[in-house]
Structure 1
Amino acid sequence: MPYIARVPPLVDAVPVVALLVLLATAYRHPSGRVEALVAVVTAAATLATGIVSRDETEAAVRHLAPVVVFLATILVVADVCARAGLFRAAAQVVRDVSHGRADRLLGGVFVLAAAVTAVLSLDATVVLLTPVVIGAALAMGTSSRPGAYACLRMANSASLLLPVSNLTNLLAMRHLDLTFGGFALVMAPVLAAVLVVEYVVLRLLFRRDLAARTEPAAPTPDVPLPRVPLVVVAAMLVGFAALSPLGVEPFWVSTAAALVLVAWARRRDLLTLGDAVRAAHPSFAVFVLALGVVVAALAVGFLGDAVARVLPDSTSYAALLVIAVVATVLANLLTNLSATLLVVPLVAPLGDAAVLAALLGLNIGSGLTYTGSLANLLWRRGLTHQGERISMREFHRVSLVATPVTLVAAVSVLALVT
């Protein structure tokens, strides 16, 4: 049904301004208090317009609440794993099995980054894994750039495998007629194709870096693989798969894992309760809820109608490709989280294949520009803090080559398996 303006144009523009303010806040990454304050103010301003009703607002919050709890608890799990040395130990294993060869190190980093992204979310890959991968490369006397970009590319592209790998997947799950295992079964061959394409592209783009040698950095002491975090994370993954058919939301499993790991880490003086609370980033939880309210207002307005007009009404190969491209464009204009809230409900009536195609654009496509995913910005900020200079030109040299090729390959495989 075409959108008909129900409010004066100035009032109708409030959600647009609110979204722009939220996105600007996310890009600047201010203190938690400022982030939460901006979120509350923009949500309140949107609600004051009356564009979304009270029932619509409550529905949006109920939809997002389990996802927000999962996000907070999985961030705590990742933080404890980092404090325990799990990422350092895993990077050491990859470094050792590469036997000093940069190309083998890159292949190992691809697999490791894909695994971390799939199980602990893309934020863990860009924030916690990337620094230790860089350290492993420098210790070998090879360029850190291929490994750093492998982490970035996998943070977005490898977040396809499991419903818990990305908030976009979790938000889409209620629109899919798939269990946790069913989702993974469909996406596994897609991810396999993505891994191959991404690896080949980075091998070609960074062939000089992989051939060059530098003076090895001073070695850092090896750390043993921490067994308790590893066992808890493995049990958490099994819990996701086993309890999903029973209708148990993933946040229950991640909350249990977080509580176990926090108790374990406290006994070993690895963190305090304050550290655990900060690791959960409660201000970002408020931010995500506010974003849901604002995008709900946009979805019932002109933007939702405009997007609906360009989406196809079938699930042919060409239609799936169009859906993925539209999702990619929206992800890079609005960030993939906002775009998910907008586009997934619109394609859901077409069935699982359409929703999964949208996820390809929302996940892989978000790696096209810095604005596509907050993970991109976190990655660049982290490298800057480490003294690694990444220019906009270099970032887009990689992303503009890798993203379109990977997206087409992923859609092609998806069309074959659905």
Structure 2
Amino acid sequence: MTALAVALLAVVLVVAVTRPRGLPEAAAAVPAAAIVLVTGLLATDKAWDEVRELGPTVGFLAAVLVLAHLADAEGVFRWAGGLLAHHSRHRPRRLFVLVVLAATLTTTVLSLDATVVLLTPVVLHTARRIGARPAPHAFACAHLANSGSLLLPVANLTNLLALQASGLTFLGFAALMLLPQLAVLLVEYVGLRLTFRDDLAAPADADGPDEEEASVPRVALVVLAATLLGFAAASPLGIEPVWVAVAGAVVLAVRTLITRRTRVRDVVAAASPLFCLFVLALGVVVAAVTDRGLGALVAALLPTGTSFTALLGLAAIAAVLANVVNNLPATLILLAALGPSPAVGAVLAVLIGVNVGPNLTPVGSLATLLWRRVLADRGVPAPLGTFTVAGLATVPAAVLAGTAALALVV
């Protein structure tokens, strides 16, 4: 039975990674979850508990995806692209710094999916607009979508799972992750700057006219800022982040639909209901694998305590596991292995591993896979060799630096 559970998880991940014939990720996950229940790999009550626990997290994901879509419809990313082009002054190195900052901010406020799906195309267009080589800026988006998602719980689905397991408040989470996030960002900047030094040294060769700058999307920016403040204010009151995200999405949706910048069906599609279903089904399959022995095996490998050595071991194992089974299943497995009342430091060390680790290989996170498709659609190469070199230049040092910073605050 254990072999069947592992095989089902493998099939789900392969389909999610490759998406044969354009099939959605849920195409394999939902049948796999059904097989888990029919064969008794996981009791129905346990499956329901898993779905119920993941429900608010998945609801939040859908709301943030809608919020990002509405921000895009309001012109937030077109406006951001204009700022990048203007303030870069046609200097590739200056644009690179701005892209790192923009990707970090977008990931922090609107989640890594917004950075991959919405910001990356804008960055590619901006690089071409000023005549810069696209690779450094494209890879900055990919790396910062993953490793730039440590600061706030809303930045990554893995963060929401960790927040729930740790028992921290929104502001408590941010306070503990501020120093690790800064340490990781410093390593990312230096590592990527060195990896793409030749591309960044090449002079810009833009010869086209400057584009008209987009107007400032004031309403959208105010709603986004209010939503972010709402996350911080709601947490001490025991209000789930999902309700704040829904409120922000509803407010912005009313304006965007009235002004016909988007349509109802586009808003529904932006919520990505099939992907949300995939996450729930994946949770059931992972729970079955964990229940059938993998959880005990992983738990036996995990170091105990919250010393720097223990935290580094947890982060390293999490990074490796993320590149083997993808970071979302890795998070579910590791949090289950830590037990019902894990130490806060242990949870956050695991988070560093599953968020930073995926930059080592293209299969480490679904966001990275999606980023590769965004680049392919626009004719921008993302060679495996380049991805590996950039990963080796950043991931080991970023995991070490982030964990060392974490050890200072927990």
TM-score, normalization: structure 2?
0.96
Change (3 A) 1:140 1:58: same
Find the aligned partners of 2:207 and 2:76 in 1 and give their Cα distance: 21
Q: Match for 2:372 among 380, 390, 404? A: 380
Post-superposition CA distance 1:285-331 (Å, at most 9, x none): 11001000000011112211210111012111111011001111111
SS in 2 for 1:364: helix
Name the residue aligned to 1:143. 133
Name the residue aligned to 2:225. 234
SS in 1 for 2:285: helix
Find the aligned partners of 1:359 and 1:320 in 2 and give their Cα distance: 11
- Asked whether the equivalents of residues 113 and 125 of structure 1 are also in contact (C-alpha less than 8 Å), the reply is yes
- Asked whether the equivalents of residues 314 and 350 of structure 1 are also in contact (C-alpha less than 8 Å), the reply is no
Find the aligned partners of 2:11 and 2:30 in 1 and give their Cα distance: 12
Change (3 A) 1:137 1:15: same
Change (3 A) 1:303 1:294: same
Find the aligned partners of 2:403 and 2:350 in 1 and give their Cα distance: 10
**What are the equivalent positions in structure 2 for 1:6-405 lying under 5 Å apart?**
11-29=1-19, 35-216=25-206, 218=208, 219-347=210-338, 349-405=341-397
Q: What amino acid is the match of 1:393? A: G
- Asked whether the equivalents of residues 291 and 338 of structure 1 are also in contact (C-alpha less than 8 Å), the reply is yes
Shift of 1:207: 1.1
- Asked whether the equivalents of residues 33 and 283 of structure 1 are also in contact (C-alpha less than 8 Å), the reply is no
With 330-339 and 15-24 compared, the bigger mean Cα shift is at 15-24
Root-mean-square deviation (Å): 1.5
Structure 2 gap segments, 5+ residues each: none
Post-superposition CA distance 1:149-184 (Å, at most 9, x none): 111110000110001110001011122132101111
TM-score, normalization: structure 1?
0.94
- Asked whether the equivalents of residues 50 and 287 of structure 2 are also in contact (C-alpha less than 8 Å), the reply is yes
Shift of 1:38: 2.6
Find the aligned partners of 1:329 and 1:385 in 2 and give their Cα distance: 29
Change (3 A) 1:31 1:249: farther
- Asked whether the equivalents of residues 335 and 372 of structure 1 are also in contact (C-alpha less than 8 Å), the reply is yes
With 85-94 and 203-212 compared, the bigger mean Cα shift is at 85-94
Q: What amino acid is the match of 1:262? A: A
SS in 2 for 1:184: helix
Find the aligned partners of 2:61 and 2:43 in 1 and give their Cα distance: 27
Post-superposition CA distance 1:241-287 (Å, at most 9, x none): 00011111111011111112221111111111111111111001110
Shift of 1:31: 7.8
Change (3 A) 1:211 1:15: same
Q: What amino acid is the match of 1:414? A: L
Post-superposition CA distance 1:325-350 (Å, at most 9, x none): 11111111111111111101322544
SS in 2 for 1:271: coil
Change (3 A) 1:121 1:412: same
Find the aligned partners of 1:417 and 1:113 in 2 and give their Cα distance: 25
Q: What amino acid is the match of 1:306? A: L
Find the aligned partners of 1:206 and 1:110 in 2 and give their Cα distance: 14
- Asked whether the equivalents of residues 94 and 105 of structure 1 are also in contact (C-alpha less than 8 Å), the reply is yes
Runs of 4+ in 1 over 6 A off after TM superposition: none
Q: What amino acid is the match of 1:353? A: G
Shift of 1:97: 2.1
How many residues get paired?
Answer: 408
Find the aligned partners of 1:180 and 1:373 in 2 and give their Cα distance: 24
SS in 1 for 2:313: helix
Find the aligned partners of 1:238 and 1:109 in 2 and give their Cα distance: 24
Find the aligned partners of 1:217 and 1:18 in 2 and give their Cα distance: 53
Shift of 1:54: 2.1
Q: What amino acid is the match of 1:188? A: L
Shift of 1:13: 2.2
